[in-house]
Homo-oligomer: A and B are copies of this chain.
Amino acid sequence: MKANIRHKGKTRVVVIGGGLGGLRLMKALKGCGMQVVLVDKNNYHQFPPLIYQVASAGLEPSSISFPFRKILQGREDVYFRMGEVQSIDADEKVLQTSFGKLYYDYLVIAAGATTNFFGNDHIAADALPMKTVMDGMNLRNTILSNMERAEVETDEETLQSLLTVAVVGGGPSGVEIAGALAEMKRTIAPRDYPDIDTSKIRIVLVNSDVRLLKSMDEASSVRAERDLREMGVEVMARTRVADYRDGVLHMEDGSTLAAKTVIWVAGVRANRIASTPEMTLGAGGRIVTDTCLRVKGMNDVFAIGDVSIVDGDQDYPHGHPQLAQVAMQQADCVAKTIRLRASSKQGAGNVNDLVFHYKDLGTMATIGRRKAVAEIGRLKFGGNTAWLLWLVVHLRSLLGVRNKIVVLINWMWNYFNYRNSLRLIFRNDEK
């Protein structure tokens, strides 16, 4: 047997990607009587909304990561395989993977999205993404290392460049990391680096749009920008980055900004599942599905979450936003469809497949201590309430009792101490 999975004559569902969508699907298929196989290139699930706190030394990578094998312990007929999918043969219903062939009856692609550098090699080489837990860790290392270098730098120009962090992208990630860095500047920097004039530290948020958080209401944008400015963040609107070379950001309008640290949160593109000609790709490389989340041109293959885009939903003519909520609701929808098909013994065709309808539960972004914005239905609010809500929602969504406790302790510790204690530069020498 290839991929070392015992076949027991059961229907097999293969899920590619253990992000929020893929994992929700695993949960929704519990007790379905089928064999479920999860394939992921990492051996752990990660929780994207808190990655910026790893970058700003507030949380440990392990606090927002969870080993798949631990999550899936005790689930019979569930298999985890670490590796990458190289191609899909939809006619033979088999995947070619880094660990051999893997047959499926139903396939769900939930491979997520990755950072989009828009084809600029300089930016891809030198700017720092913030999409994975390891990205967050690398960012932390770079920020702290540049502070150490600043402490011994005597050349004024180089010093200012070391003390300048540019955040490119005005979405929730950009707003959140800019806010967290502004707090580091205010609370930690003066204590840790007595020989640096910390007033020289610049945090510049570069935004191509005229307003921040453009997916939210204008009132939230205004509030976010006001809060960030009060915290000392410089917000540049309508500014597009053209290039990043030798530590200098070049804008499309010809202006430049010398910054040794550039955080790139300007956009995402779907992760690619290699050569599958039948698959139609839409905007941002997303796999096009019909309203039942079936991949166009392939049988028994579904796609959910950031990797895919629904064609034909009248409420979302340009596709749904790439949000955790969409991925999780899509997972529930596909799980129901697969259960229905299996229980009808595939005899009735696909007539019972469910059409996906997205229910918007609201959006939020945190800015800093007791500062956030939230929109739930017609309700739009900010400040203390939004911030507390943000904390509760994210703590609840985090996987595992132990992780919840650790994160809560860290948050309380940091809140009352005004200091993060994880300022460790861990560099990894791989063999």
- A residues with CB within 8 A of B: 2-6, 42-44, 60-62, 65, 67, 69-70, 73, 79, 81-83, 99-100, 125-126, 128, 133-134, 137-138, 141-142, 144-145, 148-149, 151-154, 191-193, 195, 400, 402, 413, 421-431
Contact = CB atoms under 8 A, between A and B. Distances in A.
A426 B133 contact: yes
Contact of A431 (B128, B149, B400): B128
Contact of A421 (B99, B193, B402): B402
Which of A6, A151, A425 is packed against the most chain B CB atoms within 10 Å? A151
A191 B423 CA distance: 34
Contacts of A67: 192, 421, 423-424
B428 A61 contact: no
Contacts of A145: 43, 82
Given A69-B423, A195-B4, A429 B134 contact: yes
Given A4-B153, A43-B425, A81-B151, A126 B431 contact: yes
Contacts of A61: 424, 426
A192 B69 contact: yes
A70 B73 CA distance: 39
A43 B148 contact: yes
A357 to B, nearest CB: 36
A81 B429 contact: no
A286 B79 CA distance: 52
Number of copies: 2
Nearest to A74: B191
A102 B5 CA distance: 62
Contact of A428 (B5, B70, B134): B134
A423 B81 contact: no
A81 B137 CA distance: 22
B134 A426 contact: yes
A184 to B, nearest CB: 13
Given A81-B152, A152-B100, A424 B138 contact: no
A192 B112 CA distance: 25
Contacts of A400: 421
A8 to B, nearest CB: 13
9 contacts: A3-B152, A4-B153, A43-B145, A67-B424, A69-B191, A100-B154, A137-B428, A138-B430, A402-B421
A79 B195 contact: yes
Contacts of A423: 43-44, 67, 69-70
A422 B195 contact: no
B99 A152 contact: yes
Contacts of A425: 42-44, 82
A160 to B, nearest CB: 15
Contacts of A428: 134, 137-138, 426-428, 430
Given A5-B195, A69-B193, A427-B428, 20 more contacts: A4-B154, A42-B425, A43-B424, A60-B62, A61-B424, A65-B426, A67-B192, A67-B423, A69-B191, A73-B192, A82-B151, A83-B148, A99-B149, A125-B431, A138-B428, A138-B429, A138-B430, A138-B431, A402-B413, A428-B428
Which of A99, A141, A426 is packed against the most chain B CB atoms within 10 Å? A426
Contact of A151 (B2, B4, B62, B137): B4
Given A5-B195, A142-B431, A430-B138, A65 B424 contact: yes
